[in-house]
Structure 1
Amino acid sequence: MTVHVLKCDHGPFGDLWDGLKTCEVRKDDRGYAVSDTLKLVEREHGIQTGRVMFASVSHIQRGYGLPDDLVVLSVNVHLKTRDY
């Protein structure tokens, strides 16, 4: 299991935080695997806001019309916190 630290813009981060969104579209450049952990760090206007969440990857979608360099990661958020 690998932990991937990823920057996440305010809008998509907020949707994950609120439970409105359950996946992330990312460049497929990190060797993502099911059960990996994503540490998502919220950024607004290029500056970290202090909100951080941890999510586990439950499914990975490649192909099916996606460009070769993109992947859809289905995630289960398991910890939301503020990074002080």
Structure 2
Amino acid sequence: MTTHRLKIAPEYFGLVSVGMKTAEVRLNDRNYREHDYLYLCEFKNNEYTGRTVLVQVTHVLSSDEFPSGLKDGYCVLSFDIACVHFKFRG
């Protein structure tokens, strides 16, 4: 089991953090596996915002399994939320 730190745009971060987005299409350049963790870090205007969400991969659909729907080398990562962290400004 591996933890992968990845950037995520604000519009997608919000949906993931409330459980409305439960999958990501990504280049499979990290050999993603079921049970891996994705540490998704909100990235806006070329910097990290401090807001993060940790999700656990529940399924990996590779381009080998779905060649008509995914570009070669890409995958769909299905996941469940493990933990959400919002940076509060005070």
Give the alignment's Cα RMSD to 1 decimal.
1.4
TM-score (norm 2): 0.86
2-structure distance, mates of 1:38, 1:11: 17
Q: Distance in 1 between matches of 2:78 and 2:20?
A: 13
Structure 2: unaligned runs, 5 residues or longer: none
Which one of 52, 75, 85 corresponds to residue 81 of structure 1? 85
More strand by percentage = 1
- Give me the identity figure in percent: 36
Amino acid at match of 1:74: S
Q: Under a length normalisation based on structure 1, what TM-score does the superposition of the two structures give?
A: 0.92
Runs of 5+ consecutive residues of structure 1 not aligned to the other structure:
none
Runs of 4+ off more than 2 Å: none
Structure 1 or 2, whichever has the larger Rg, is 2
The one-letter amino acid paired with 1:79 is C
CA distance in 2, matches of 1:31, 1:83: 30
C-alpha separation between the residues in 1 aligned to 2:18 and 2:76? 19
